[in-house]
Structure 1
Amino acid sequence: MAQLYFSPMLLGICLLLSIALCATALYWMAPNESGPGFWMAGTWTLILGVALFIGFVLTRSPVLNVLGNAAQLAGEALFLLGIFHFMRRPLPWWLIPVSVGAMVIANIHYWLVHGNSNLLMGIYSSIAGLLPIQAIWVLFRDRSDPATRPARLLVGCSLVLYCATTLWRGALGYYDWWDQALYKQPYESFSYLLSYNFAIPALVLGFLGCSLMTTQRVLARSHRLAAQLQEQATRDPLTGVLNRRAFHQALVAEVIRSQRYGRPLCLAMFDLDRFKQLNDDLGHLGGDDALQHFSHLCQQQARRTDTFARFGGEEFVLLMPETDADQAQLLLERIRLTLAEQQFSYQDRHYRMAVSIGFAELSSNGSPDQLLRQADLALYQAKEAGRNQVRLWMAPASMAY
């Protein structure tokens, strides 16, 4: 046992145990993520194989030798299956029976015909070194999940290092077998210690990459969820445009900017004429289609710097920065005329819609709420004057703004 204590074998075993514990913790923390379950099963199976192999070193039991080598290869294969599962690729289950079966046959042949230990080590290392190649190819080639790409590259590079080290170890085993070199104990053999000095640290690095892949995917999903919640909080669910609360925030910011730099700003309010009659005629679904039609038309006509929103019901608003009253009048007339000229169709029935529009221009000392009230008053005037027209709010002569 002294040789074990003062060799890298003990450190390698401790590293494998650390990976197994971390894989277990990752599985319990993210049980719904694909991959951690395989990594947990693979690392503990690998630990079992190493423990059985140590038992073989101490007892020289053929059964422990066969089971130890088989369990180590099975653990490695399970770990690699976790990578395929994480990347949502078909699982190459054949890796387990092919690798384990080949090793068991070679191991049994070794004990039955008094084979060469160096040759057996070469066969084991060849199988272990070739196992990750398919996973490496997928890790480097996959482009479907950009969020996890940095961690996937880390895992791929780690597996490349593991393959190179393990295959080197196998080549040394074949060389010693060909050269008929005397067999050395694992803790005395350079080729055996290659695994503990390089291959196992590469596995540790690979598992770190797997943990980062999982974390990156969880964070990406959280960001998407947060974006969806933000979208739901600021958007009207029917038309997809800004809702009243989000529009008011934009209005306050734009009023502050406009007054700070002395730039013009106009606000328009829209109300679809006789919408209740249209809604009663077509039903609520038809009314919803009409609102979506009008919203889409306004977004097409508005400029990229404008802010369009639904205030509620059939009322909409349009905020027009860097726009004076004359410019706003032209834009709003274009929207009104375009709506009047286009036909709205629903279930093979055709309608023409009209809209009343009131708008106001921000005064030098005006406030957001004041601008809204003025546009609303202008809209009321447009309705009272016969609908289907654009009205600019004008301050009475007796009022000073």
Structure 2
Amino acid sequence: MGVLYFSPMLLGICLLLAIAVSATALRFMVPTEQGPGFWMAGCWSLIGGIGLFIGFILTHNPWLNVLGNAAQLAGEALFLLGIFRFMGRPLPWWTVPASAGVMALFNTHYWLYAGNSDFLMGVYSTIAGLLPAQAIWLLLSARQDSHTRPAQLLVAISLVIYSLATLLRGYLGYHGWWHDQPYTQPYQSFSYLLPYNFAIPALVMGFVGCTLMTTQRVLARSHRLAEQLQELATRDPLTGVLNRRAFHEHLQQELARAQRYGTPLCLAMLDLDHFKQLNDRLGHLGGDQALQRFAWVCEQQARSCDVFARIGGEEFVLLMPQTGTAEALRMLGRLQKALADERQHYQQQDYALAFSTGLAERSRDESADSLLKRADQALYAAKAAGRNRIEVWEAPLA
């Protein structure tokens, strides 16, 4: 029967040691994440407490027993503080000295006054079983982080199992003390085997959940970083609209789709009128604001299927899929009116925005460069004709 006791105990120690090593690795692999540092400290405190307890078994020094139990409870409290740190909540620091201190007092009383071992086990288990209550409530009630929510539930369930198994152990200890049951060898005691058979596996499962929470958060941040890099690669940093490279990709796609299905497609090149004079009068910051306001108005007027981009300086393009010349002219007219109705203001200076437009509708089997060139020629004609107007490209006479 001795094997029945020592085998679960040895297995439990090995599992805790594995958690401690894994928590240490996690701490150094993701040093910027909050939480793993506490899990590492808590696990090694648990291991240290067990080491002191083994020293007590070998030397029968009661102070090693007192310190070992206090260190184990302090480790559990530190581990749970890591959950609060990971969730970005205030840390209940008081749980560390409170749990270790209360246990040390009862443990000291036990040795000074020949106390009951079952009662002492009940005290230890009660403290250990109640410690996770705050963390369980936090994990179940916090819903703001959808990325880590599944792992949070796994940790909460694991802590519930750990807490129930530990409190049951405490109840059996109180029961034995109250009924003055005779001392039972640990390997013959169900209550002593409870934590090794149920509580420690639940703690392992909880740490796996903590690792998953960390991994899910790291992956979510990496995904957001990738989105930001994609944004930087495809967006104009000043106005936030598509840049030249991204627009050319859209143009190729929409042109191929229009040619495949035989649908119309119009391209308009827009250029802010007299922007250099405006920039000189308002200054560069004022000129930047003017570009931002123009881009904003254009995006408000554009349809969801349209593609609007800044291709350089004060020059923009508007691609209108499934749109013929007549409809494109009506849309550009609405844009002109919307811009004319808005009076712009910068540092006590009023100014108006107007733009010239060159419009071209795709022809059969036309390339993107050809369509851009025809729209640009129409834009040149609009400027030459007095600006603030729309010119449609027309084929030169033979």
Q: Is the TM value for this pair above 0.5?
A: yes
Instruction: Report the equivalent of 1:230.
Output: 230
Indicate if the aligned counterparts of 2:5 and 2:186 stay in contact, CA closer than 8 A.
no
Instruction: Report the equivalent of 2:61.
Output: 61
Query: Alignment partner of 1:263: what SS?
Result: coil
CA 1:2–1:171: 2 relative to 1, 3 Å: closer
Matches of 1:209 and 1:31 in 2, distance apart?
18
CA shift at 1:5, angstroms?
Answer: 7.7
The Cα offsets for residues 290-335 of structure 1, whole Å up to 9 and x where unpaired, read as 1111111111111111010001100000000010000001111221
CA shift at 1:144, angstroms?
Answer: 2.3
Matches of 1:165 and 1:320 in 2, distance apart?
66
Matches of 1:341 and 1:33 in 2, distance apart?
51
Q: Residue type of the partner of 1:286?
A: G
Q: 1:356-371 to 2 correspondence within 5 Å?
A: 356-371=356-371
Query: Alignment partner of 1:387: what SS?
Result: coil
Matches of 2:285 and 2:209 in 1, distance apart?
51
Matches of 2:237 and 2:74 in 1, distance apart?
52
Indicate if the aligned counterparts of 2:2 and 2:187 stay in contact, CA closer than 8 A.
no
Query: Alignment partner of 1:323: what SS?
Result: coil
Unmatched segments (≥5 aa) in structure 2:
none
Matches of 2:127 and 2:116 in 1, distance apart?
17
Structure 1 residue 322 and structure 2 residue 314: aligned? Answer: no
Indicate if the aligned counterparts of 1:341 and 1:352 stay in contact, CA closer than 8 A.
no
More divergent stretch after superposition (362-371 vs 247-256) = 362-371
Instruction: Report the equivalent of 2:118.
Output: 118
CA shift at 1:203, angstroms?
Answer: 0.5
Instruction: Report the equivalent of 1:247.
Output: 247
Q: 1:98-247 to 2 correspondence within 5 Å?
A: 98-247=98-247
Indicate if the aligned counterparts of 2:122 and 2:173 stay in contact, CA closer than 8 A.
yes
Q: 1:337-348 to 2 correspondence within 5 Å?
A: 337-348=337-348
CA shift at 1:337, angstroms?
Answer: 2.7
CA shift at 1:145, angstroms?
Answer: 1.7
Structure 1 vs Structure 2 CA RMSD = 1.3
Matches of 2:247 and 2:176 in 1, distance apart?
78
Indicate if the aligned counterparts of 2:356 and 2:388 stay in contact, CA closer than 8 A.
yes
CA shift at 1:111, angstroms?
Answer: 0.9
Unmatched segments (≥5 aa) in structure 1:
none
CA 1:357–1:351: 2 relative to 1, 3 Å: same
Aligned length: 398
Q: Residue type of the partner of 2:146?
A: P
Indicate if the aligned counterparts of 1:243 and 1:310 stay in contact, CA closer than 8 A.
yes
Q: Residue type of the partner of 1:135?
A: A
CA shift at 1:174, angstroms?
Answer: 0.6
Structure 1 residue 288 and structure 2 residue 271: aligned? Answer: no
Instruction: Report the equivalent of 2:265.
Output: 265
Matches of 1:337 and 1:177 in 2, distance apart?
89
Matches of 2:187 and 2:9 in 1, distance apart?
7
Indicate if the aligned counterparts of 2:84 and 2:90 stay in contact, CA closer than 8 A.
yes
Matches of 1:351 and 1:69 in 2, distance apart?
77
Instruction: Report the equivalent of 1:93.
Output: 93
CA shift at 1:165, angstroms?
Answer: 0.2
> Normalization by structure 1: what TM-score?
0.97
More divergent stretch after superposition (58-67 vs 300-309) = 58-67
> Normalization by structure 2: what TM-score?
0.98
The Cα offsets for residues 224-265 of structure 1, whole Å up to 9 and x where unpaired, read as 111111111110111100000000000000000000001110
Give 4+ residue runs of structure 1 displaced > 6 Å after superposition. Answer: none
Matches of 2:95 and 2:344 in 1, distance apart?
61
The Cα offsets for residues 258-287 of structure 1, whole Å up to 9 and x where unpaired, read as 000011100000011111011111110111
Matches of 1:75 and 1:258 in 2, distance apart?
67
More divergent stretch after superposition (366-375 vs 389-398) = 389-398
Q: Residue type of the partner of 2:205?
A: L
